[in-house]
Amino acid sequence: MDQTGGLFPGFIQANLVILPQEYAIDFASFCTRNPKPCPLLDITLPGRYDTFLASGADLRTDLSKYHIYKDGKLEEVVTDLTAIWRNDFVCFLFGCSHTFEPLLSSAGIPIRYQEQGLRLSLYDTNIEMLPVGQFKGTVIVSMRPIPMEKVTRAAVISARYPRMHGGPLHIGDPSLIGVDLNLPYIGDKVEFLPGDIPVFWACGVTPQHIALNAKIPYMITHAPGYMFVTDFLVEDLG
Amino acid sequence: MDQTGGLFPGFIQANLVILPQEYAIDFASFCTRNPKPCPLLDITLPGRYDTFLASGADLRTDLSKYHIYKDGKLEEVVTDLTAIWRNDFVCFLFGCSHTFEPLLSSAGIPIRYQEQGLRLSLYDTNIEMLPVGQFKGTVIVSMRPIPMEKVTRAAVISARYPRMHGGPLHIGDPSLIGVDLNLPYIGDKVEFLPGDIPVFWACGVTPQHIALNAKIPYMITHAPGYMFVTDFLVEDLG
């Protein structure tokens, strides 16, 4: 399957981080203290790979691409975790801003990266999160150019869905949050049309960015853009 | 200090559950899957009694009344946990609907229990939560009689604050959620004025109700009504 942005309109898409159990309480604490970038939808029990978010789900195989990291370095990209599954793995699932994009579209707000056939632009920022133990660092944001007369409605619509990151973290001048639009952290540089304003939302890549910084000996995440698609509509878990 | 309902308008008030570390992942998973009654504001690391929710806080002494339970039975009511603190205690803090009451008042919505000098009415329901391990059971709700012409605004205002339980869980006929208004679970029976409709919100006593059902050998909670008052305004952590 391809990247999930723009697919399955209405259904909640989720980010995934899998950590050994010994890090689970610290990471749960970190996410609870930083809910804007890390809005928890589920925490699974150690060794379990099912989730209430989708009936019959198997988190070892249901995503189409996974990243495996050792000591904070990308070691391998795989499509199946069955052979490497461990009984101490705890899965954390987070809301994703792809979920509210169809609602922006329905409100007449263009999604520029989709119009241009590009990947969503993600940027690192200078916004520090509340640290917990070894988990600390800056917020990763997604950025969408929005026509100036539609910025307020984009803010109001997205703010209704705090578990999908909620309203924008920042609107306007990128330099105020340490962003250079020419240098995406992940994804493509998207073209602005005249009158577009950059609007920044906290991004669910943040928890994996933070876990990577912490140099956890072994961790697994979804590959950015290849989300877990749930059975739930966005209004179900608001 | 007295019960905190009606005091400190604008500031977030929080429910407290303290459990031994061995139950922490299961309980964090349970709360994440049931965020309406169990909206997590903080999880502390084992043995820690500070919280980012209030500068210089000491969760062992800052609440004015605590309940200590053994095997699911109330053993003691105390005002200080210092002498019995353990290095494996993990604190869970949850949003509280007292927080949005001043916003309802500002919108011209009467808070009947306060007008009548009573305690807020809490009821058990027949609404089952998603179970996790030994944690399972029904949602406890707070009930406020609201003049019929103001029910919608009460729903809309409270829905803006999902981490304080958000919008009502139920509006109208109590029997549909298994409630008999004559039989509060905790608190007082409040008097309805002509035209009042019962409006039910998920209540932060639910997580302690669930942990009690699970018959955890040793746990501590705030005494219902005696909340932890944070430094944050409700808009800060929306």
Judge: B25–A35 Cβ closer than 8 Å, yes or no. no
Judge: A42–B29 Cβ closer than 8 Å, yes or no. yes
- Closest residue in chain B to residue A52, using alpha carbons only: B33
Task: Count interface pairs A-B at CB distance under 8 A.
Answer: 60
d(CA B196, CA B175): 16
Q: Which two tokens stand for residue A31?
A: 């996410």
d(CA A164, CA B215): 34
Give tens-digit pLDDT for A5-55.
788 888 999 999 999 999 999 999 999 999 999 999 999 999 999 999 999
- How high is the ipTM of this complex? 0.87
Judge: B133–A25 Cβ closer than 8 Å, yes or no. no
Query: Whole-number mean pLDDT of chain A?
Result: 95
Give tens-digit pLDDT for A172-215.
999 999 999 999 999 999 999 999 999 999 999 999 999 889 99
Q: Which two tokens stand for residue B1?
A: 């200090």
Judge: A33–B52 Cβ closer than 8 Å, yes or no. yes
Chain A nearest C-alpha distance from B1 (Å)? 28
Chain A residues with beta carbon closer than 8 angstroms to that of B237 = 35
Mean pLDDT of A63-85: 95
Provide the pLDDT for residue B41. 97
User: Do the strands B89-95 and B11-20 form a parallel or antiparallel pair, or are they unpaired?
Assistant: antiparallel
Scan for tokens 């955890």, then name that residue: B216
Residues in CB range of A172: below 8 A, 6 or more apart: A197, A198
Q: Which two tokens stand for residue A26?
A: 């610290």
Give tens-digit pLDDT for B89-103.
999 999 999 999 999
Chain B residues with beta carbon closer than 8 angstroms to that of A50 = none
Task: State yes or no: pLDDT of A91 exceeds 70.
Answer: yes
| Nearest of A134, A117, A111 to residue A201 by alpha carbon | A111
Minimal Cβ distance to A45: which of B26, B41, B43: B26
For chain A, percent of residues with pLDDT exceeding 70: 99
Interface of A with B (CB under 8 A): 21, 24-26, 28-29, 32-33, 35, 40-46, 52, 90, 130, 132-133, 162-163, 166, 237-238
